[in-house]
Amino acid sequence: MTENSGRKLRFWQPAWWLPELRKCDRTDSCQRIAESSAPKPTYYVLIVLSTLIASYGLLSNSTATVIGAMIVAPLMGPILGLALGTVLADSRMFYRSLAAETSGVVMVILTGLLVALVVGPEHIDYSGAEIAGRTRPTLYDFAIGLAAGLAGGYCTVHPGLQSSVAGVAIAVALVPPLAVTGLTGAGWLSGEIAFKPVFGSFMLFFTNLLTIELASGFVFLGTGFRQSGSDNPKQLWRKTLVVKAILLIATGVFLTRQLSNLLQERYGLVTSRRELQTMLKDIPGANLDSLEVQLNRDVLTVTAVVGSRTDVEPPVVKRFQDRLNKALRKGLPKVQAKLVVRTVNSTYASSNGYLFEPTRSGLDDDERRSQAIDVALRDLLEHYPGVDLVDFFQSSVSNRVNHQDTSLTVTLNSPYDFGPRFVRELEESLNKELSKEPSLFAGYTYKLLVKTILVKTASANDAVALNAPEMRTAQEMEAAKRQERLRQLLASSLELNGHLKVLELHVRRVEPSEVVGASPVPSPTPLSGEQQQRDYYSVRLSIRSPQLIGPELLAVARDQAESVYTNETGREVEVNIDSTVSVGSDLYLDQESPTQKTDGESEEDRIERLNQQLNDQLSRFVSKYPRAELNGTTDLQKRGGDGNYLFYAVITSEKPIPNKTLIQWQKALVKVSPELKSLEWNVENRLGRSVRLTPVRQPQPKPTAAAPKKPLAQPTPDPASR
């Protein structure tokens, strides 16, 4: 062999790192590999000795002893023989090395099994670091095997590096994983452990075997080893490469899954330790002694050992588990945690006495009930998006014999109104859940009183809306649609009269018994037969008008809405209206009464002019926004000092208009006139489409059935009200 000297080397050329071998050097390397891969008696003696050293080193958890077994182990030679036999297409060397490796593997496993039977599987600590560390191979071991194979092949063909082969044997594990296979196999046969560690330790050895053979084969090819004159070199290459490719792919997939599980377990371990240490601060004197996690598919089992003066009760563990699941969902959305807490009773003492002394040895029944209610409420509130439990308290029942209908006041944070329907469902679910613990809640039922704190969530761009879960039946939702349709029809009928402005319009569905004799405006709609479907509604109406109006105008508007409602839904309807008419301070009962004028333009005229300018400008903005419409007329009111105004507008759009767009419009509106020093904008953004109905007249009944209806006309002032 000659070294590369006297010429310029480039890193992309293999000459600088691959030695130049002469024919005699290659022949010498082939002879040494053939001798080390032959199944001789010395080979089996070293196999047994190295296995004994590795087995007892594993049992005693001694790293140095296991390293010594790696140096003695001769399993590296047959693996290099397999690689060289494949490169040279030497079937004799290949099958001889395969026989030596297979027999050596079987002998190592049997020797390890024999050692375990001698010691006794029940006396072996399978959770020790040396044993447990070789039962879960990952993709990292694949990379280690490739590097070790390159180093082993390079040291074998380089005569000056023969002494480094022992270091290569230490770098990669061959005998120790097989010894672990034998030890864990004895434990599996005796029922001490599961089969998973047995399979994992063998896969670690198998991964090293494949990667070392592959990497050393590439080294042999790079240093000039070529096929010899064998009988069927192509057939041998084809068989070995196909089999090795399949095994490498299968092994790579297995190791990738193992690595993924390992990373998930590490994330679960770090998250669980952080959350448990935080939660244990609520228990005086409690601390986390140790923590173990194990991932089995989508279930992460967390085993915690807690030192505390008092026992950690199951309701507390349940609450800890729920908080732990919430924290794990950020990184492991599909994994469900199962928390197991082992409490170790411990004491802390100083020269003055015990520290963290609990008030009593355990929890009384009332505290146990409170913990169970807390856990049940938090669990049930998971079904309501965005709702969180703030606090709860129950009335004192110490002097009561019967605990039925115990009052329980609950405070919630919610992005929507937690109405009676939700409270009723939560109350029924809570009582059903608590009834599963008869030892604590025998004879107890709770009546909920829920206090809701509305919470609005917003991002930098827009508000974040959370919708309440739908709790209504199909029949109830259909009734709600009809109710909303009646409200739209009434509003449209009233707004047809230009001088009226609807301030408030509330429609409530009622039972027939609630409206008998209660309507201040009797309905002229004729009653139908008993089989006819009929809806009853109570309407509270607030109207702004420049003058007082009589009941005739409301009756005409109601009749129009009822007629259209019946035509659309096919149901008879009876509406009772309770109305309130307000007259603005700047309006007069008599439309012809003059307004108070100041110098030049009156205050009323100036507000009307500014309102029209703002209305025109806003109409231009809204017309450019996709599928948006300005509803009705805008309203401008003076606020505080001179030049301060409040501007009100209603905009209908299919999607919510972003706050950023509304702010831009407001900044542009205040520049409409120099008279506007400040402009407060109150905009109502309705979702949907704006509907304005034309009057639909009901067919005139016969004179004997009902009196003729008066047409919708301009009301006249009432002298009595003046």
pLDDT at 334 over 60: yes
Does residue 710 have a pLDDT over 70? no
Which CATH fold would you assign to the domain 23-231?
Answer: Glycerol uptake facilitator protein (1.20.1080)
| SS3 label, residue 667 | helix
List the structure tokens of 115: 């050692």
Query: What is the average pLDDT across 386-407?
Result: 72
Residue 485 burial by Cβ neighbours in a 10 Å radius (0-12, 13-18, 19+) = middle
Kindly state the average pLDDT of the residues 56-71. 85
Fold annotation for 474-582: GMP Synthetase; Chain A, domain 3 (3.30.300)
> How confident is the model over 530-544, as pLDDT tens digits?
434 788 888 888 877
Distance, CA of 43 to CA of 73 (rounded, Å): 9
CATH number of the domain located at residue range(s) 263-352 in this protein: 3.30.300.20
The answer to whether residues 152 and 216 touch, using CB atoms and an 8 Å cutoff, is yes
In DSSP terms, 407 is beta-bridged to 447
What does the pLDDT read at residue 2?
43
Instruction: Dig out the tokens for 502 from the structure.
Output: 């609807």
Over range 249-265, report the average pLDDT: 79
| Per-residue model confidence as pLDDT tens digits over 157-196 | 766 665 555 555 565 678 889 999 999 999 999 888 888 8
Q: How many CA atoms lie within 13 A of 219 on its CB side?
A: 27
Answer whether residue 227 shows pLDDT above 80.
no
Looking at residue 236, what is its pLDDT? Answer: 57
**Dist. CA 324–CA 318, nearest whole Å:** 10
Per-residue confidence at 52, pLDDT binned at 50, 70, 90? very high
pLDDT tier for residue 600 given thresholds of 50, 70 and 90: low
For residue 350, the model assigns a pLDDT of 61
3-state secondary structure of 454: strand
Distance of alpha carbon 238 from alpha carbon 90, whole angstroms: 13
Provide the pLDDT for residue 498. Answer: 59
On the question of pLDDT at 13 being above 50, the answer is no
Q: Give the position of tokens 């027939």.
A: 512
Q: What is the Cα–Cα distance from 500 to 190, expressed in whole angstroms?
A: 91
Instruction: Tell me the pLDDT band of 402, cut-offs 50, 70 and 90.
Output: low
Task: Provide mean pLDDT across the span 332-350.
Answer: 79
DSSP letters spanning 468-523: PPP---HHHHHHHHHHHHHHHHHHHHHHTSTT-EEEEEEEEE--HHHHTTT-SS--
Residues 96 and 39: beta-carbon distance below 8 Å: yes
Whole-number pLDDT of residue 349:
64
- Quickly tell me which residue has 């115990």 as its tokens: 406
Per-residue pLDDT, 327: 86
Average pLDDT of the chain is 76
- Mean pLDDT, residues 280-298: 80
Give the pLDDT score at 182.
Answer: 93
| Mean pLDDT of the region 333-346 | 83
Give me the mean pLDDT over the 324-332 stretch: 84
Read off the pLDDT of residues 422-473 as tens digits, 9 standing for 90 and up: 888 899 999 888 888 887 888 888 899 999 888 877 766 666 666 667 666 7
Contacts (Cβ under 8 Å, ≥6 apart) of 107: 44, 47, 48, 51
Looking at the DSSP bridge assignments, the partners of residue 345 are: 308
The confidence score (pLDDT) of residue 19 equals: 58
pLDDT at 268 over 90: no
Q: Which residues pair with 539 in a beta bridge?
A: 507, 577
Tokens 């007259």 belong to which residue?
583
Q: Classify residue 404 by its DSSP letter.
A: T
- Quote the distance between the C-alpha of residue 450 and its chain's center: 27
pLDDT at residue number 597: 43
Predicted pLDDT at 363: 60
pLDDT of residue 712: 43
Look at domain 603-687 and name its CATH class.
Answer: alpha beta
CA distance between the termini of the chain: 125
Q: What pLDDT sits at residue 721?
A: 41
Please give the pLDDT value at position 105: 92
Best CA proximity match to 212, nearest among 86, 324, 308? 86
In angstroms, the CA 582 to CA 580 distance is 7
Q: Give the mean pLDDT of 398-426.
A: 79
What is the pLDDT at residue 151? 79
**CA atoms within 13 A of residue 685's CA, in its CB half-sphere:** 14
Q: For residue range 14-27, list pLDDT tens digits in order.
A: 455 555 666 666 77
Q: What is the pTM of this model?
A: 0.44
Instruction: Work out the angle at residue 110's Cα, subtended by the Cα atoms of residues 108 and 115, and round it to the nearest 5 degrees.
Output: 95
User: CA of 274: how far to CAs of 334, 375, 691, in Å?
Assistant: 20, 21, 57
Per-residue confidence band for 110, with pLDDT thresholds at 50, 70 and 90: very high
The pLDDT of residue 1 is 44
Residue type, 81: G
pLDDT tens track for 650-674: 888 877 888 788 888 888 888 888 8
Bridge-based pairing of strands 406-414 and 446-454 is: parallel
Angle between helices 23-36 and 139-157 (to 10 degrees): 130
The gap from C-alpha 565 to its chain's centroid, in whole angstroms, comes to: 45
Please compute the mean of the pLDDT values over residues 54-65 and round it to a whole number. 88
The architecture CATH gives domain 365-456: 2-Layer Sandwich (3.30)
User: What would the two tokens of residue 112 be?
Assistant: 């390890």
Whether residue 264 is predicted with pLDDT greater than 50 in this model: the reply is yes
Whether the predicted pLDDT of 111 surpasses 90: yes
pLDDT value at 507 more than 70: yes
89 touches 227 (CB < 8 A): yes
Residue 583's pLDDT band, with cuts at 50, 70 and 90, is low
In this model, does residue 36 exceed pLDDT 60? Answer: yes
* Structure confidence at residue 358 as a pLDDT band (50, 70, 90): low
Amino acid at 601: E
How far apart are the C-alpha atoms of 375 and 653, rounded to whole Å?
A: 43
pLDDT of residue 702: 54
Helix pair 365-380, 314-328: axis angle to 10 deg: 30
Q: Binning pLDDT at 50, 70 and 90, where does residue 528 land?
A: very low
521 pLDDT above the threshold of 50: no
Average pLDDT over residues 143-165: 72
Strand partners, 543: 502, 581
CA angle 382/385/390 to nearest 5° reads 65
Percent of the chain past pLDDT 90, that is, above it, reads 5
Tell me, yes or no, if the two domains 263-352 and 365-456 fold the same way: yes
Residue 587: per-residue pLDDT: 34
Confidence of residue 338 (pLDDT cuts 50, 70, 90): confident
What is the reported pLDDT for 389?
Answer: 87
Average pLDDT over residues 274-280: 84
Domain ranges of the chain: 23-231, 263-352, 365-456, 474-582, 603-687
Question: Quick one: which of 155, 145, 144, 256 has its CA closest to 211?
Answer: 145
585, pLDDT greater than 50: no
**pLDDT confidence band for 6 (50 / 70 / 90):** very low
Q: What is the per-residue pLDDT across 484-503, written as a single tens digit (0 to 9) for each?
A: 888 888 888 887 765 677 77
DSSP state of 2: B
Q: How confident is the model at residue 606 (pLDDT cuts 50, 70, 90)?
A: confident
Q: What is the predicted pLDDT for the residue at 341?
A: 87
Question: How long, in residues, is the chain?
Answer: 722
In the prediction, which pLDDT does 699 show? 57
Confidence (pLDDT) at 614: 87
The tens digit of pLDDT for each residue in 670-687 reads: 888 888 878 887 887 777
Residue 225 has pLDDT above 80, yes or no: no
3-class DSSP state of 403 = coil
Cα 445 to Cα 211: distance, rounded to the nearest angstrom? 67
* Separation CA 277–CA 65 (nearest Å): 38
